[in-house]
Amino acid sequence: MQFPLSAWITLATLLLYVWIVMKVGKARKTFSIHAPSVDGPPEFLRTLRVQANTVEQMVLFLPALWICALCLNDIAAAFGGVIWLIGRTMYAIGYYREAAKRGLGFALSSMAALGLLVAAAYGLLR
């Protein structure tokens, strides 16, 4: 296998997303919010926002991860991926507790995704 580290990062990303989706399902049950409704108490809205924002971030992160792995190297891509995963986990946990506690995780994961994007472009250009 050529890109085992990036494959592991992708798998970990999907597992993180499964955990986040399960948290939304649990919050729906806890607060009796039936689909397709997306309105409820702040605790539910924060949980739903973590899920939505993570999907939004994955659209940038996953292609950048794989282009970086293919065009630069697997280790650089995996390093950025680990940072992104740490940031996303911090973001989720912080946001679940209180909206104001999401900032550091958001910044870390966003910077990692942008770093992967720049590394991918560099790999393509060289």
Which CATH code is given to the segment(s) 4-125?
1.20.120.550
Mean pLDDT of the region 32-41: 95
Position 1 pLDDT exceeds 90? no
Position 52 pLDDT exceeds 90? yes
Q: Which two tokens stand for residue 9?
A: 């990062």
DSSP 8-state secondary structure symbol assigned to residue 80: H
> pTM of the full predicted structure?
0.96
Count the helices and strands in the chain (H runs, E runs): 4, 0
pLDDT digits (tens, 9 = 90+) for 80-95: 999 999 999 999 999 9
